[in-house]
Amino acid sequence: MQNEQAVHAVDEWLPLRWSIPLGFQQLLAAYASIIIAPLVLASALDWPQEQTTYLLAMGLLGSGIATLIQCLGIRGLPIGTRLPVVQGTTVAVIPPLIAIGANGDLTTMFGGTIVAGLVCLLLAGYWSRLLRFFPPLVTGTVITVIGVSLMPVAVMWLSGGRGFGAQDTSTSEVMLGLGTLLLVLLVMRLGSDFLSRIAILVGLVAGSVAGAFMGMSDFSGLGEASWVALPLPFAFGAPSFTVAACATMTVTMLVTMVESTGDYLAIGEVCDQHVDEKRLAAGLRAEGLGTLIGGLLSAFPFTTFSQNIGVIRVSGVRSRYVVAITGVMLITLSLAPKAAALVANIPTPVLGGCGLVLFGSIAATGIQTLRKVDFEHTGNVLTVGISLGAAMLVVANPIYFSALPKAVADILNNPITLGATSAVLLNLVFNSKRAG
DSSP string spanning 79-132?
----S---EE--GGGHHHHHHHHHHS-HHHHHHHHHHHHHHHHHHHHHHGGGGG
Predicted local distance difference test score (pLDDT) of residue 436: 41
Predicted confidence (pLDDT) at residue 222 exceeds the cutoff of 70: no
Average pLDDT of 401-415? 77
Q: What is the DSSP letter of 165?
A: S
Model confidence pLDDT, tens digit, residues 367-404: 888 888 888 888 889 999 999 999 888 888 878 888 88
Predicted confidence (pLDDT) at residue 1 exceeds the cutoff of 50: no
What residues pair up with 87 in beta bridges, in sequence order? 304
Predicted confidence (pLDDT) at residue 345 exceeds the cutoff of 80: no
Mark out the alpha helices in 128-198 (DSSP H runs): 136-158, 171-190, 193-197
Please provide the average confidence, as pLDDT, over all residues in the chain.
Answer: 81
Model confidence pLDDT, tens digit, residues 188-199: 888 776 677 667
Predicted confidence (pLDDT) at residue 346 exceeds the cutoff of 80: no
Q: What is the DSSP letter of 402?
A: T
Counting residues of the chain whose pLDDT is more than 70, the rounded percentage is: 85
Average pLDDT of 241-270? 80
Predicted local distance difference test score (pLDDT) of residue 92: 65
Q: Residue 200's closest CA among 360, 338, 61?
A: 360
Predicted local distance difference test score (pLDDT) of residue 2: 41
Q: Specify which of 125-134, 174-183, 235-244 reaches the highest per-range mean pLDDT.
A: 174-183
Q: What is the DSSP letter of 198?
A: T
Q: Residue 340 — pLDDT band, cuts 50, 70, 90?
A: low
Predicted confidence (pLDDT) at residue 64 exceeds the cutoff of 90: yes
CA 308 to CA 311: how far, in whole Å? 5
What are the CA-CA distances from residue 103 to residues 96, 107, 228 (Å)?
A: 11, 12, 34
Predicted confidence (pLDDT) at residue 167 exceeds the cutoff of 60: yes
Q: In sequence order, what are the residues at sequence separation of 6 or more whose Cβ sits closer than 8 angstroms to the Cβ of residue 259? A: 90, 92, 146, 303, 304, 414, 416, 417, 420
CA 177 to CA 372: how far, in whole Å? 35
234: left (phi over 0), alpha (psi -120 to 50) or beta: left
Comparing 50-64, 158-172, 269-283, 353-367, which segment has the lowest mean pLDDT?
A: 158-172
Q: Residue 364's closest CA among 319, 294, 309?
A: 309
Predicted local distance difference test score (pLDDT) of residue 3: 46
Predicted local distance difference test score (pLDDT) of residue 289: 94
Cβ–Cβ < 8 Å for 377, 430: yes
Better pLDDT: 304 or 344:
304
CA 429 to CA 410: how far, in whole Å? 26
Q: Residue 90 — pLDDT band, cuts 50, 70, 90?
A: confident
Q: Residue 104 — pLDDT band, cuts 50, 70, 90?
A: low
Predicted local distance difference test score (pLDDT) of residue 298: 85
Cβ–Cβ < 8 Å for 147, 366: yes
CA 54 to CA 63: how far, in whole Å? 14
Cβ–Cβ < 8 Å for 200, 191: no
User: Cα 239 vs. chain centroid, distance in angstroms?
Assistant: 26
Q: Residue 201's closest CA among 356, 331, 14, 351?
A: 351
Question: β-strands 303-304, 87-88: how paired?
Answer: antiparallel
Predicted local distance difference test score (pLDDT) of residue 207: 87
Model confidence pLDDT, tens digit, residues 255-267: 778 778 878 888 8
Comparing 36-50, 141-155, 398-412, which segment has the lowest mean pLDDT?
A: 36-50
Cβ–Cβ < 8 Å for 208, 179: no
Cβ–Cβ < 8 Å for 379, 430: yes
Predicted local distance difference test score (pLDDT) of residue 5: 53
Confidence (pTM): 0.71
Predicted confidence (pLDDT) at residue 12 exceeds the cutoff of 90: no
